[in-house]
Amino acid sequence: MTRRLFRETDAWSAVIHHNVVPLIGFTITPCFSVISPWYKYGHIRSYILSHPDCDRLKLVHGIAKGLAYLHSQKPAIIHGNIRSDNILINDQGDPLISDFGSATVTRSNTLYEDYDHRMNGASRWMAPELLLNPNEVQSGSTDVYSFGSVALEVMISELPHSGLPDSRIPVALLSPDAQPFDDWERYPQLPEAIKQVILKCWSRRPGKRPSMEEVDVVFATLAPNGPG
């Protein structure tokens, strides 16, 4: 636990972005813990439930911008646990990425992570290669897969793998065609362009997934005000 918290503060302290929760500080007594702002709206799932008419495209684009920023750092910061519980909403209704306890930093082509923390309730959003192979390392492409699942959840209020308990998700993903969601006909109001971005994020071939920078550009063009 202490190693995880030290890693969290190390990765988090270097991050300054409008769509990332700022780190205020940390304490070491009576126990090691990080300090960040409190947000009255809580995480994005509860915010959408209480604000069903919110601008969901703006929310998804904000998450994309924050994650693209993390991946653009040198060395890159891989969040490792992108899911709706870790996206908070500030007083202005903007999404902020939080919880860097699973974050990894790439240095000299080596990736450092805590495998014990990997399966901490995140299987619903996790890339198949991480679920099915304990030796697989987190990467930008695994964050992209998780982003696609969060984007689905935000846009249509549907959990990825909504018909399955957590314990059955790895079994379902043994099928090479399995995806977190496939009942698109129920949501004809979802723009086709957004659906296609999500599907690309879910490619079972990690190298075929777009980068978060590419995803950010797509959502910028879809936003009401266009790029900028």
What domains can be seen in the chain, in order of their start residue? Answer: 2-222 (1.10.510.10)
- CA–CA separation, 209 vs 145, rounded Å? 8
Reading the block at residue 165, the tokens are: 């308990």
With a pLDDT cut of 70, the percent of the chain lying above it is 79
- CA–CA separation, 162 vs 181, rounded Å? 8
Q: Tens digit of pLDDT for each residue in 139-178?
A: 999 999 999 999 999 999 999 999 899 989 999 999 999 9
Ranking 18-22, 115-119, 168-172 by mean pLDDT, the lowest is: 115-119
Q: Enumerate the β-bridge partners of residue 20.
A: 97
Which pTM was predicted?
A: 0.86
Torsion angles phi and psi, residue 77, rounded to 5: -105, 120
Decide: 67 and 82 in contact? Cβ < 8 Å: yes
- CA–CA separation, 124 vs 85, rounded Å? 12
The pLDDT score that the predictor gives to residue 121 is 57
The pLDDT score that the predictor gives to residue 124 is 94
Decide: 66 and 19 in contact? Cβ < 8 Å: yes
Residue 224 has pLDDT above 80, yes or no: no
Strands in 73-179 per DSSP E? 77-78, 87-89, 95-97, 104-107, 110-111
pLDDT band at 228 (very low <50, low <70, confident <90, very high): very low
- Helix, strand, or coil here: 152? helix
Q: Tens digit of pLDDT for each residue in 45-102?
A: 999 999 999 999 999 999 999 999 999 988 888 999 999 999 999 999 999 999 875 6
Decide: 150 and 143 in contact? Cβ < 8 Å: no
The pLDDT score that the predictor gives to residue 215 is 98
Q: Tens digit of pLDDT for each residue in 127-147?
A: 999 999 888 889 999 999 999
The pLDDT score that the predictor gives to residue 24 is 72
User: Which CA distances in Å does 62 have to 160, 188, 227?
Assistant: 20, 24, 13
> Higher-confidence residue: 99 or 225?
99
